[in-house]
A and B are shown apart, each in its own frame.
Chain A
Amino acid sequence: MVLLEVKDVRVYYKTRKGIRQAVDGVSFTVEQGESLGLAGESGCGKTTIAKAIIRLLAPNSYISSGDILYKGHSLTGLTESMVREIRWKEISMIPQSAMNAMDPVYRVGAQIIEAIRRHEPIRKEEGIRRAYDLFEMVGLPPERLQDYPHQLSGGMRQRSAIAMALALKPSLVIADEPTTALDVITQHQILEKINELRREFGTSMIFITHDISVIANTCDKIAIMYAGKIMEYGSLEKVMRRPFHPYTIGLENAFLSIDRVADNLISIPGSPPDLINPPKGCLFRYRCPFGEPLCLENPDLIEVEERHFSACHFPNRVEEFREKGIREEVWQIE
């Protein structure tokens, strides 16, 4: 069953210099129990799309077109009070910095209980019991419910943010770089916990990160974003093992792994285009070594094999891309 459907969404920011097209025609679906990874560099629009779903966009931004359907109902037209009903109860978010999710002057426990009671008419004792269970579930000693946010370590805060996000048993959890600020061992513990809880409750997830290896360990599906658009989209296996888009191929060759002793790591030259009045055509063409005149036209996201989509005009040249893409000199375009 499709839980969430994002249909051709555009999110624009009003800035002093003009309209910034942060998200430009993005579509994807999240099935019940499925986990989708949104990967991309800073400024590619991955966080903006998440904020559009949960309706926490900055005041100077707006959804200019497209629709977001949750369990078949449109979220874009809802009033603020209707959104508040859905937020946390149906769709919740684990932010990058848990410090931002919490009020520094209230005890962590009080904040979780408050969040539950805002949505469910339960008594305080019941709320305390629920908060206690939640802390145990995310692997925190329940006595830490008495602490203020600053008394917890970074990993503990992130765990309590997860507890808060799961407090109302939402169907969809959006995690925005939930482990980026953490050390590897803590990151590992948190990711294991998220995977475990997902298996247990069948929660759907959207995982936003620049770290492909995190997605490889948590997601079923992946969307690679660049300059406000999805470049490649499909099952984790297919996109990672058989990438079609030159950007994905470049990213994978730029990606370091602890097991990798390769002596040629490739960087993609240049930087993403300015999204205020972006040029027409494929936005990756300035950094792509395989460009052709046709790239001046905007490529659609086309199905290149079953459950695998790529926004490049040349799926038939993929063998060549993969073969040449591992050579450093190929990417040295000026």
Chain B
Amino acid sequence: MSQREPVLIAKDLRKWFPLSKGFFHSLLGEETRFVRAVDDISFEIYRGEILGLAGESGSGKTTVGELLVGLNRPTKGQIRFNGRNIAELLGSELRAFRRHSQVIFQDPYESLNPGYTVYRTVMEPLNNFGIGRREERVERISEALERTGMKPPEEYLYRFPHQLSGGQRQRIAIARAIVVGPELVVADEPVSMLDVSVRAGILNLLKRLNQQMGLTILYITHDLSTLSYICNRTAIMYLGKIVEMGGTTGLVRNPLHPYTKALVAAVPRVAPNGAKPRVEIIGQIASPIDLPVGCRFRPRCPRAREICEEREPPLLPVGEERRVACHLYSLN
């Protein structure tokens, strides 16, 4: 990445979901409890990069994606997209913004309307945003289909989702996302429902769109093995917080945070009998409702110390490219 211009900056981004406490408890004046899905995180996405966002289920990674495309409103904090805070947008302004930030979902069997042809599916966003006249729209649709490898486009225009394979459906979902010319695409587990033999094709496609069109992508996944392949940088989330962030290759080869270490070590390796790093952490991810005091990873951490019970470690730079939220590094 030569020019490092952020297309998006999230600052102290928070999304807490209130738990319904029931009528009786509210009469008693009990405090509302919250699921702290995203808990004051800050990061940036540079123009033209693929940023990976990885973590276990319940880590808050999907919620971050929803906030960035305006599918959910943050409780607090800012999302500066090309300098404008989209967290404040409402109504028509918010709708207009969505043209710049599109999303691809996990399951192409669920995300496409089964009653729509490919043509209608990819046309829909052009209608929504009032882009182009008829001829221009047809042209844009063909171009989007070609870019996603659905060649020749005429062959697919009048097909329905059930006439397409899983990989082809995901390509249509990608075509629908890029047809409006967004600057940022949030891809939430785009390959995890697909078979191994077609996964590579979708990842290659995302990579190509990134390299050829300069499309910026936030790639959300729980599958760490795909990170090294397509992400320039990666952020690891744990219980609503980013615990480590940096260049993907460095992060995977030399993870610093004890959680990242465990996560990387736990990925099954293909090479049989190869040397395997040990996974040291114990137990399960905690509930994001009643978080432990201090570092939220402490109950599972093999290297927890006294300070970890007292203070939550901030995400601080360690070296050139890396940020880590762990007292092991912030004290030295």
The finding on whether chains A and B are genuine partners in a shared complex, rather than unrelated, reads yes
- With an 8 A cutoff between CB atoms, is B225 at the interface? yes
Contact B284 A155 (CB under 8 A): yes
> Given the complex, which residues of B lie within 8 Å of A154, measured CB to CB?
57
Q: Is the CB of B268 within 8 A of A213?
A: yes
With A213-B269, A216-B272: A185-B262 Cβ-Cβ less than 8 Å: yes
The total of chain A residues at the interface (CB under 8 A) is 41
Let me know if B270 and A271 touch, CB within 8 A: no
In the bound assembly, the distance between CA atoms of A195 and B276 in angstroms comes to 15
State whether the Cβ of A11 lies closer than 8 Å to any Cβ in chain B.
no
CB-CB under 8 A from A213, the residues of chain B are: 225, 267-270
**Cα separation A216 to B267 with both chains bound (whole Å):** 12
Given the known A-B contacts A41-B195, A191-B268, A217-B269, are A266 and B200 also in contact in the complex, defined by CB atoms under 8 Å? yes
Give the complex CA separation of A265 and B198 in angstroms.
11
Within 8 A of A (CB), among B57-95: 57
Closest to A268 in B: B197
Using A256-B229, A266-B200 as known contacts, say yes or no to A42 and B268 having CB atoms under 8 A apart: no
A292 within 8 A of B: no
Task: Check if A61 is an interface residue, CB within 8 A of chain B.
Answer: no
Decide: B269 and A216 in contact? CB cutoff 8 A: yes
Distance of A298 from chain B, by nearest CB (Å): 22
How many contacts A-B (CB < 8 Å)?
118
> Within 8 Å of chain A (Cβ to Cβ): is B249?
yes
Give the docked Cα–Cα distance between A273 and B150 (Å).
Answer: 20
Q: In the complex, A211→B268 CA distance in Å?
A: 9
| Chain B, interface residues (CB within 8 Å), range | 35 or more
A236 touches B272 (CB 8 A): yes
- Check A187 for interface membership: any CB of B closer than 8 A: yes
Q: Quick check: A41 and B197 within 8 Å, CB to CB?
A: yes
Stretch binding the partner chain, chosen from A26-34, A163-171, A247-255, A312-320: A247-255
Interface residues of A in 233-276 (CB under 8 A from B): 236-237, 240, 250-251, 254-262, 265-269, 271
Q: Which residues of A contact B198 (CB under 8 A)?
A: 267-268, 271
Q: Does A214 contact B (CB under 8 A)?
A: yes
The CA-CA distance from A155 to B57 in the complex, in Å, is 12
Residues on B with beta carbons closer than 8 Å to the beta carbon of A256: 199-200, 203, 225-226, 228-229
Q: Which 7 residue pairs are nearest across A and B when measured between Cβ atoms? A: A267-B201, A188-B266, A267-B200, A213-B268, A183-B56, A268-B197, A41-B195
CB pairs A–B below 8 angstroms (12 shown): A154-B57, A184-B266, A185-B266, A186-B284, A213-B268, A217-B269, A254-B197, A254-B200, A258-B224, A259-B252, A267-B204, A268-B197
Question: Apart from A156-B284, A213-B268, A250-B197, what 17 extra A-B contacts exist at CB < 8 Å?
Answer: A41-B197, A155-B284, A185-B263, A191-B268, A211-B196, A213-B269, A216-B268, A216-B271, A217-B269, A237-B272, A240-B272, A255-B270, A256-B200, A257-B271, A258-B267, A265-B203, A265-B204
